[in-house]
Structure formats: C-alpha cells, structure tokens
Amino acid sequence: MIQRCYCSVFQSTHPTYIGTTVCKEWLTLSNFVAWVESQDGEGKEIDKDILCPGNKIYSPETCVFVSRQLNALLCGSDATRGNYPKGVYWRKDRMKYQVIMRKFGKSYLTGTFDCVEEAHRAYCEAKSAHIREVAENLTDADTSDIERTRAGLLEHADIEERLWKEAQGESVPTLWG
C-alpha cells in the first residue's frame, strides 16, 4: 500500500496510483495493523475504491477486504483496449467493434458491432447488469463488509449505466449533483 502511494518507480508502471495517499492514521503501522486485525481479511485483498468510486485515499472509511475475483470486477483493461471507449475493442480481421466481458473469471463475447457507439452502449449495459448481479449475491467469502460493499458496487453499476450516455454528450444526473 505504501509502495503504491509513494514509490515513483512503482507508479511509473502503475500510473493509476499517482495521487493516491494513505490517511495519516495508517501511516503509524500499529494503527493499520489494529484495523486489519478487526476485519475479516483472511484470503482477501485490501481495496480502496469499491466503496467509493474514484477514491484515491487508503483509510478505514474507504477500504474493505475483498476476494481477488471481486477486486478484478472493476478493472478497465485500459492498456489492452487502445483508443476506444471502455469495454470496446477493434477486430481488424472482422472490421467490427467487439465487446468482450469477464464474468466470474471467464471471458464472454457480448457482441460485435458496426459502430463504436453501439458497442460502448452494449458494454455499459452488460457491465452494469453484471455488477448488480454480483452485488446482490455477495457472501462473506467475497468481502469483509457485505452491506458497504453492496452499496459501493451499486454506485459503480449506476456509473457504468451513465458512461455511454455521457460519451454521447447527454446530460445525466451524477452522484455528485
């Protein structure tokens, strides 16, 4: 966690962590250890942005322990998709846009489309539905805090639903007004 936040070498290969910090309380190791020991973190990973979309602070209020599979649910694969919207890939051999989504550890073809906007809409709708499905079926094996994790995932699902509308220039209400 400290490396992710404060090591420029790490951040040069993981730029999504640039600007991420650890709360003052957790900079004292004994405080962080006390929090960890109060959680059900066995076999889970610490996550800072499932509860609070876009969060850049590791703290007791913003972090939760989650399974590796749940932690991977919100990864965007930015490095592999190129210059296309989230979830959209260009299939040169077919001359079409393709949407492939990971669900429960397996890749699924969501569809193949003539235009990038159709593909992006299909991805956003499918991703939102998948996140909602995961949120409704959380267990203790998935997270150290089912209710807070469910609420955070439902916020992420709402964000996914809005992404394609925002990309089309539509005005949509946000969580922040």
Using one digit for the tens of pLDDT, what is the confidence trace for 47-95?
999 999 999 999 999 999 999 999 989 876 655 556 888 889 899 999 9
The one-character DSSP state at 85 is: P
Pairing label, strands 106-113, 88-91: unpaired
Given a contact cutoff of 8 angstroms between Cβ atoms, the answer to whether 47 and 65 are in contact is yes
In the chain, where do the E strands start and end?
Answer: 21-22, 45-47, 57-58, 64-66, 88-91, 96-103, 106-113
Given a cut of 50, whether residue 17 has pLDDT beyond it is yes
In angstroms, the CA 4 to CA 176 distance is 27
Looking at per-residue pLDDT, the higher value among 3 and 104 belongs to 3
Looking at per-residue pLDDT, the higher value among 76 and 166 belongs to 166
Given a cut of 70, whether residue 32 has pLDDT beyond it is yes
DSSP per residue, 30-55: HHHHHHHHTS--TT-EEESSSSSTT-
Given a contact cutoff of 8 angstroms between Cβ atoms, the answer to whether 135 and 154 are in contact is yes
